[in-house]
Amino acid sequence: MFDNLTGALQGIFRKLKGYGKVSEKQVRESARDLRRALLEADVNYRVARDFIASVEEKALGERVLKSLTPGEQVMKIVYEEMVELLGTKRNELRFGPAPSFLMLVGLQGSGKTTTAVKLASRFKKKGRNPLLVGCDVKRPAAVEQLRSMAVSSGIDFFESRSDTPVEICRSARENAIRSSHDTVILDTAGRLHIDEPMMAELVEIKKSVSPSETILVTDGMMGADAVNVAREFSEKLGIDSVILTKMDGDARGGAALSVRSAAGVPLSFVGVGERFQDLEEFHPERFASRILGSGDMDSLLERAEAAVTEEEAKELERKIAEGFTLDDFLTSIKQLRKMGSLREVIDLMPGASVLKDMPIDEKALGRAEAIIRSMTSQERNNPRIIDGGRRRRIARGSGVRVEEVNRLLKQVESTRKMLKHLSKHKGKFPFPGTGPSTGSG
The per-residue pLDDT for range 237-261, each reduced to its tens digit, is 999 999 999 887 655 677 888 888 8
CATH of 3-86, one of 3.40.50.720, 1.20.120.140, 3.30.160.20, 1.10.150.20: 1.20.120.140
pLDDT at 89 over 70: yes
pLDDT tens-digit series, residues 307-342: 666 677 677 666 656 666 788 777 777 777 776 666
DSSP SS3 for 68: coil
Q: Indicate where the chain has its CATH 1.20.120.140 domain(s).
A: 3-86
Q: What is the pLDDT of residue 169?
A: 93
Instruction: Report CA Rg, the chain.
Output: 25
Any idea what DSSP says for residue 160?
A: -
* Range among 52-61, 80-89, 180-189, 372-381 with highest mean pLDDT value: 180-189
pLDDT range class, residue 426, cuts 50, 70, 90: very low
Q: For a pLDDT cut of 70, what percent of the chain falls above it?
A: 80
Paired residues of 352 in beta bridges: none
Give pLDDT, residue 441: 37
Domain with CATH 3.40.50.300 in the chain: 100-293
- Most confident stretch, 83-87, 309-313, 350-354: 83-87
Residues of the chain with CATH 1.10.260.30: 301-422
Chain-centroid distance of CA 315 in Å reads: 28
| pLDDT tens digits, 387-407 | 999 999 999 999 999 999 998
pLDDT at 73: 84
pLDDT at 354 over 60: no
CA distance 419 to 277: 30
The CATH number that domain 301-422 falls under is 1.10.260.30
| Nearest residue to 158 via CA among 215, 195, 120 | 120
**For the whole model, what pTM was predicted?**
0.70
Query: Is pLDDT above 70 for 102?
Result: yes
Q: Would you give the DSSP letter of residue 94?
A: P
Q: How confident is the model at residue 436 (pLDDT cuts 50, 70, 90)?
A: very low
Mean pLDDT over 124-132 rounds to 94
Q: What is the pLDDT of residue 69?
A: 81
| Confidence (pLDDT) at 431 | 39
Whether 429 has a pLDDT exceeding 50, the answer reads no
What are 280's strand-pairing partners?
A: 270
Please state, rounded to an integer, the average pLDDT across all residues of the chain.
Answer: 82
Domain 100-293 has CATH 3.40.50.460: no
The DSSP symbol for 51 reads H
pLDDT confidence tier of residue 434, bands split at 50, 70 and 90: very low
